[in-house]
């Protein structure tokens, strides 16, 4: 006899079981009383972050200038992330290198970058977390905003003190139409100085319903300003805001694109991903035309495509990369992010590659290739930001 399965029972049972299992796993990695800390950086890594030579870093240390690093038994100098920032500011005072303190100055607007695409699995969140950590380590003040109800970016932060999405501690609380909270109340500092987050949760889906009701009541396109208005309250604190969008072109994504000064579209070099991106662009263009006609169109300093999960030795991917280069031209970033088990492992540990010690990987060269790839892409994106600020290098 056929047994009919209750859809409600199936969904609710396994959502509860899965949430409990993942929560237990998260607690095992980061217990409630655990304090998450950032690893320390060698003088070689610090020199690369600051754009100076390792010999110069050593000279500064020997002269007793700047922060005092930890010295290991083998003589290796290790700097905390706070010390890297202190050293950056110390060198900036000495004016040794232009823009060694990269924070924006008067006349430079905060760059708000939307990382978006239709296709799930295109590495939007991985791109956001690695770009955000890179920029923070480079000395910028960065805010990452999780715009996706699935909350992957939020999950990567581990156990944030005081955060509970069930208590309304998400972006939705600041962009809802009825009784929004001040945006500063939902900003969380992380264990990386200069890198803050606004988290997401399932309640973000309520924005879609709220917008529909608002449009029926008042009409117009004012809903598009909810995200930019929320960010405007705190934008003076940051140099760069990264918006990790959901894999859909919903009202929240449209609001993000309206708030953005720049757009980054991660695309794996696979036929289905590129095809999906084409449909995303087609649909987005139709929406943007409507918004332009309503006087609510977006204007960006840049919009670029980034190839992710790339395997150079895979011929179909190499051919697709060539096609994308032909179609997108200079709007495709020169650097691609390589597919790597190192990235997958780091994200499993709820960390970016910048957080993980190289020695933790069984194949350190895999880490080296991955971090080199990510660094190159991030540096290219950083140059787009400084170009938008019209800085002379």
267-279: average pLDDT:
92
Question: What's the chain's length in residues?
Answer: 393
pLDDT digits (tens, 9 = 90+) for 141-188: 999 999 999 999 998 987 676 666 667 789 999 999 999 999 999 999
Task: Name the 3-class secondary structure at 117.
Answer: coil
Res 11 pLDDT > 80: no
Token output for 285 = 């263009």
Q: 367, 361 in Cβ contact below 8 A?
A: yes
pTM of the model as a whole:
0.91
Encoded tokens for 8: 């409600």
240 exposure class (CB count in 10 Å sphere: 0-12, 13-18, 19+): buried
108-133: average pLDDT: 94
SS3 322: helix
C-alpha distance from residue 62 to each of 42, 48, 153, 343 (Å)? 15, 19, 40, 36
Higher pLDDT, 98 or 11: 98
* pLDDT tens, residue by residue, 46-66: 999 999 999 998 888 888 888
Tell me the C-alpha distance between 52 and 366, whole Å. Answer: 26
Cα 374 from Cα 210, distance rounded (Å): 38
Instruction: Give the tens place of pLDDT for each residue, 116-126.
Output: 998 788 899 99
Can you tell me the distance from the alpha carbon of 245 to that of 268, in angstroms, rounded to the nearest whole number?
17
Strands (E), the chain: 41-42, 70-71, 77-79, 111-115, 142-146, 187-189, 195-198, 240-244, 262-268, 302-308
Residue 72 is encoded by which pair of tokens?
A: 């290991």
Mean of the pLDDT values across residues 57-77? 88
pLDDT digits (tens, 9 = 90+) for 334-364: 999 999 999 999 998 889 999 999 989 988 8
Residue 95 has pLDDT above 70, yes or no: no
Work out whether the CA dihedral 74, 75, 76, 81 comes out positive or negative: positive
pLDDT at residue number 290: 79
- Among the residue ranges 271-280, 293-302, 354-363, the one predicted with the least confidence is 293-302
The answer to whether residues 330 and 360 touch, using CB atoms and an 8 Å cutoff, is: no
pLDDT at residue 31 in the model? 59
> Which alpha helices (DSSP H) does the chain contain, by range?
7-29, 43-50, 54-62, 81-93, 124-137, 152-155, 172-175, 206-218, 226-232, 251-259, 271-293, 315-328, 341-348, 364-388
pLDDT given for residue 298 in this prediction: 78
Percent of the chain residues topping a pLDDT of 90 = 63
Select the highest-mean-pLDDT range: 210-214, 221-225, 374-378.
374-378
């Amino acid at each position: 006899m056929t047994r009919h399965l209750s859809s409600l029972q199936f969904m609710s049972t396994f959502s509860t079981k899965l949430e409990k299992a993942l929560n237990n796993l998260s607690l095992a990695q980061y217990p409630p009383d655990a304090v998450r800390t950032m690893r320390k950086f060698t003088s070689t890594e610090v020199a690369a972050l600051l754009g100076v030579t390792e010999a110069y870093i050593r000279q500064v240390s020997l002269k007793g200038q700047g922060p005092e690093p930890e010295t290991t038994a083998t003589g290796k100098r290790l700097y905390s992330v706070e010390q890297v920032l202190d050293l950056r500011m110390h060198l900036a005072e000495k004016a040794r290198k232009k823009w060694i303190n990269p924070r924006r100055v008067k006349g430079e607007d905060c760059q708000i970058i939307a990382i978006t695409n239709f296709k799930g699995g295109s590495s939007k969140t991985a791109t956001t977390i690695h770009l955000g950590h890179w920029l923070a380590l480079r000395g910028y003040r960065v805010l990452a905003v999780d715009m996706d109800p699935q909350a992957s970016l939020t999950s990567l932060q581990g156990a944030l003190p005081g955060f509970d999405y069930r208590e309304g501690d998400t972006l939705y609380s600041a962009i809802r139409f009825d009784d929004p909270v001040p945006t500063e109340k939902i900003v969380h500092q992380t264990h990386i100085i200069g890198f803050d987050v606004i988290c997401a949760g399932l309640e973000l889906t309520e924005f879609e319903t709220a917008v529909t009701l608002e449009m029926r009541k008042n009409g117009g396109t004012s809903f598009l300003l909810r995200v930019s208005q929320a960010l405007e309250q705190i934008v003076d604190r940051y140099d760069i805001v990264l918006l990790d969008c959901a894999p859909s072109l919903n009202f929240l994504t449209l609001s993000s694109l309206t708030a953005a000064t720049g757009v980054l579209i991660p695309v794996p070099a696979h036929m289905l991903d590129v095809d999906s991106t084409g449909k995303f662009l087609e649909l987005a263009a139709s929406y943007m035309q409507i918004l332009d006609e309503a006087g609510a169109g977006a204007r960006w300093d840049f919009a670029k495509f980034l190839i992710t999960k790339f395997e150079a030795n895979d011929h179909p991917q190499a051919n697709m990369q060539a096609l994308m280069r032909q179609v997108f031209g200079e709007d495709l970033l020169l650097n691609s992010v390589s597919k790597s088990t190192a990235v997958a492992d780091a994200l499993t540990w709820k960390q970016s590659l910048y957080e993980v010690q190289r020695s933790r990987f069984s194949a350190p060269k895999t880490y080296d290739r991955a971090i080199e790839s990510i660094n190159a892409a991030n540096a290219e994106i950083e140059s787009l930001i400084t170009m938008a600020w019209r800085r002379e290098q």
